[in-house]
A = this chain, B = another copy of it.
Amino acid sequence: MFNVIAISRQFGSGGRTVGREAAKRLNIPCYDHELIEKVATSSGFSKDYVESQGEYANHRSWIGQALEHTGRFDCMSNQDKIWVEQRKIIIELSKEPCVIVGRCADYILRDRKDVLRAFIHADDASRAERIVKLYGEKADKPEKRLKDKDKRRAAYYRYYTDTDWGEAVNYHIALDSGVLGIDKCADILVNIYKSN
């Protein structure tokens, strides 16, 4: 029944690794960074710009952009342009079996009955440990980095989907990777994908 898995995840929860692992076991592609590259190519923006604007946008910059555009004919902000490109590419990619991580794919594909919508989260301690291991120490403490990214992802999600990020009812399955473990989460997704 399911052909695609769309994973939304908290920063540092290992949701991307869950996606990659599930895709590997199912022998289907997993799109995450590849998606950014595709959006960069088709939109003409740089990869870094797409990455920073495509999921972690912050409100002030939108207002700034909106003001910049006042009175111009092409009044779409860069962020909106990236959203439109992302959406197109996600719809295109999801025609074939795959795993897609982030970028509101769960919302964009919400009317497709063959798309399993998953949310991966974990307690703050597990996530803090994970981001320090993966991305190293930074000036800001890991707890602050988590809070900041969560807030910006939630705001981005809310802005473009008009629904709340992380509400259980918006997903077919939500898993705590801190308690269950990355491997087990991948297992569960693979099992659902195969058995439906």
Q: Which residues of A contact B (CB under 8 A)?
A: 10, 119, 121, 166-169, 171-176, 179-180, 184, 188, 191-192, 195-196
Contact = CB atoms under 8 A, between A and B. Distances in A.
A171 B172 contact: no
A186 to B, nearest CB: 13
A184 B195 contact: yes
Given A166-B167, A167-B166, A167-B167, A176 B172 contact: yes
Q: How many copies does the complex hold?
A: 2
A166 B170 CA distance: 10
Grouping DSSP codes into helix (H, G, I), strand (E, B) and loop, the A interface class, with mixed when no group exceeds half, is: mixed
B169 A166 contact: yes
Contacts of A195: 184
Contact of A168 (B166, B179, B188, B191): B166
Contacts of A184: 192, 195-196
B192 A180 contact: yes
A96 to B, nearest CB: 21
A175 B172 contact: yes
Contact of A173 (B166, B176, B191, B196): B176
A194 to B, nearest CB: 12
Nearest to A8: B168
A40 to B, nearest CB: 31
A188 B174 CA distance: 12
A169 B166 CA distance: 7
B168 A121 contact: yes
Contacts of A10: 169
Contact of A169 (B121, B188, B192): B121
Given A172-B176, A180-B192, 7 more contacts: A166-B168, A169-B176, A172-B175, A172-B179, A173-B174, A188-B191, A191-B191
